[in-house]
Chains A and B, each alone.
Chain A
Amino acid sequence: MQITVKLFATFRAGRFAVEPRTYPPGTPIVEVIRELDIPEAQIGMIMLNNRHAEPEQELHEGDNLSLFPLVGGG
């Protein structure tokens, strides 16, 4: 299946901002995080199709996955 992965802030360094990527059906989010070599402790927010998501959630064809380090403002 193909999903779109978007990375933000420091996660972009040495990686990418947006990329279509292919994974076996049913891959959980945490697999993508591992494959991208992002230490799990650095994950601040995960958004799947514009909703907050958990690392265990499974991905589906056409999903939009966004990964953010812990950042903030106001």
Chain B
Amino acid sequence: MDKIFRVNMSDLSTKIEAVPSAWAGLGGRGLTSTIVAAEVPPTCHPLGENNKLVFAPGLLTGTPAANSGRLSAGAKSPLTGGIKESNAGGTAAQMLARLGIKALIIEGLPKGDAWYSLHVTKDGVTVQEETELLGKGNFAVIEALEARLGKKTGILTIGQAGELKMTAANISVKDPDSKIRSHGRGGLGAVMGSKRIKFITIDDQGAPGVKVAEPEKFKTAARTFAKALLDHPVSGEGLPTFGTNVLVNILNEAGGLPTRNFTYGQFEAHEKISGETMHDTIVERGGKPKHGCHAGCIIQCSQVYPDKEGKYVTSGFEYETIWGIGADCCVDNLDDIAVADNLMDDIGIDSIETAVMFGVAMEAGILPWGDGKGIIRLLKDEIAQGTPLGRILGGGAGSVGRAFGVTRVPVVKNQGIPAYDPRSVKGIGITYATSTMGADHTSGYTIATNILNVGGHVDPLKKEGQVELSRNLQIATAAVDSTGMCIFVAFPALDIPECLPALIDMINARFGINLTGDDVTELGKYILKTERQFNIAAGITNAHDRLPEFFTTEPVPPHNAVWDFTDEEIDEFWNF
């Protein structure tokens, strides 16, 4: 039977609880958001004793379903002040699922100055005091813990940024190669740091494993699903070959590649940081152009990027990071961007928030435009050291904007706007404005339909159809985020008719239930409404469902487009 593991850091006690019946049909984001909404007072301080940090594997995690190994983390966000769910690959989700752990809930705050670690096994959680690894970066933590507990240990860890409770801090998850994937957005690393937990280790020895109620039905559906993933040109060929970074040239052509802190929609040196160049560079230097973030990923959008000598520099090198440090900061050297990516993983700071932040920092005159080496220096000498400047930078784009009086600060609900200009790709602007998460492209990825012609086409420069597109995608995404699936299954799901029914069949076969497509849509709506209710009670209303003013007054070339939705038009989003 699945269980809830609960840890109270105030008295260092741990409990194993039965799963309340209302939570039984939930997993991933649906479960973390339900638990946060039920148990966290919306007005609490995100770094205080009333916030809770919740981890939950998805409904299909731990089964042989392709791409189902993602872990959701949830809490009240110290960055946005609203609810947060952030999901990541790595090995932890499948281990927790095999242990029958439906959710791990961490609550309370320790009284003294001591730091702790949690160790999760089939018998429960133990809390131990930790001294040795304090102040260490994530790679050193992983190396030390593998030496201490064995290579197979699952690890969730925070770097210096999390220890210092920076609002851009993330939670790192060990991947199958002992490298890092991240619960990136929303400052969840600061929540873990506030609870004075440096790391969580997982040992799945003796795990009961995931029981599938109807194995034959599951197998058939899983095969259909995997075939759809491999048949679709985006998930079957595009993502494995070029990674997500293929988008640099595409967004540049579409005039939606935010450049120089969202001043232009095209970057002169786009070719030097493009997915095509990155692919050729990786192959030439003997790296790995494709790589999965968890066992069972058959898309493999990740990669291993080496330096000129063929030595590892970074992996999981994503478009949003490359765009942000690259075009948005005008850095045209992919090697510098790769070094910065690895440093951000090590320090444990969200690479999207931090990249957007550096664009604002350059606007503020902290660094010259294009100074990749300067970014590396600030990461190492200021942020990782927790100097006063480092703490301002580690607070993200909004923090730097406030500290330095910058007016062009691309954030919604204080979370940095990623990689796609909302003036020239208007659907994603609706997603940024309305998402319960703050500016988050993954929560309703209209780029698929606005730019990539997946799931039809809605003209990115016109207002028509964008609210509906974003709404449909946000509802579907909330449901998919509950399955443990990587969001890239959306590409085949939007185009191949058998894909989504196969996904639902797998859920049905896993639990012996009979969900329909409508039930899944209802689940998505329930999740969005639950999250929104939490936000409203926390003081975040439709007045915050807005883009920063400069988007309405500064036209972005080459289309000279502005953000031109009225408040009423945006508010239509919630009409469901």
Flag if B453 contacts A71 (CB, 8 Å). no
A42 partner residues in chain B, CB cutoff 8 A? 233
A72's contact among B254, B318, B442, B448, by CB below 8 Å, is which? Answer: B448
Flag if A73 contacts B243 (CB, 8 Å). yes
A-B contact pairs, 28 of them (CB 8 A): A8-B246, A9-B241, A9-B246, A9-B275, A44-B452, A45-B452, A45-B453, A50-B254, A50-B255, A51-B461, A52-B254, A52-B453, A68-B250, A68-B253, A69-B233, A71-B234, A71-B242, A71-B250, A72-B238, A72-B239, A72-B452, A72-B454, A73-B244, A73-B318, A74-B244, A74-B445, A74-B447, A74-B448
A66 partner residues in chain B, CB cutoff 8 A? 253
With A44-B452, A52-B459 known as contacts, the answer to whether A74 contacts B441 (CB < 8 A) is yes
B residues apposed to A, CB below 8 Å? 233-234, 237-239, 241-247, 249-250, 253-255, 271, 275-276, 301, 318-319, 441-442, 445, 447-448, 451-454, 457, 459-461, 487-488, 491, 558-559
Flag if A50 contacts B238 (CB, 8 Å). no
A residues apposed to B, CB below 8 Å? 6, 8-10, 12, 17, 42, 44-45, 47, 50-52, 66, 68-74
**Interface of chain A, main secondary structure:** mixed
Which of chain A's residues has its CB closest to B248's CB? A73
B245 partner residues in chain A, CB cutoff 8 A? 73
B238's contact among A12, A47, A52, A71, by CB below 8 Å, is which? Answer: A71
B271 partner residues in chain A, CB cutoff 8 A? 17
For the complex, give the distance between the alpha carbons of A10 and B254 in Å.
19
For the complex, give the distance between the alpha carbons of A51 and B558 in Å.
10
B558 partner residues in chain A, CB cutoff 8 A? 50
**Interface of chain B, main secondary structure:** helix
Give me 17 other A-B pairs in contact (C-beta within 8 A), A70-B234, A71-B233, A73-B238 excluded: A8-B249, A8-B276, A9-B238, A10-B241, A44-B453, A45-B452, A70-B238, A71-B238, A71-B250, A72-B234, A72-B447, A72-B448, A73-B239, A73-B319, A74-B442, A74-B447, A74-B448
For the complex, give the distance between the alpha carbons of A36 and B491 in Å.
27
> Max chain A CB contacts within 10 Å: which of B249, B250, B271, B276?
B250
> Max chain B CB contacts within 10 Å: which of A17, A66, A73?
A73
B447 partner residues in chain A, CB cutoff 8 A? 72, 74
For the complex, give the distance between the alpha carbons of A70 and B243 in Å.
13
For the complex, give the distance between the alpha carbons of A10 and B301 in Å.
16
A19 CB to nearest B CB, Å: 14
Which of chain B's residues has its CB closest to A44's CB? B453
For the complex, give the distance between the alpha carbons of A70 and B330 in Å.
28
B246 partner residues in chain A, CB cutoff 8 A? 8-9, 71-73
A44 partner residues in chain B, CB cutoff 8 A? 233, 452-453
A37 CB to nearest B CB, Å: 18
For the complex, give the distance between the alpha carbons of A47 and B246 in Å.
15
With A50-B253, A70-B238, A73-B244 known as contacts, the answer to whether A12 contacts B276 (CB < 8 A) is yes
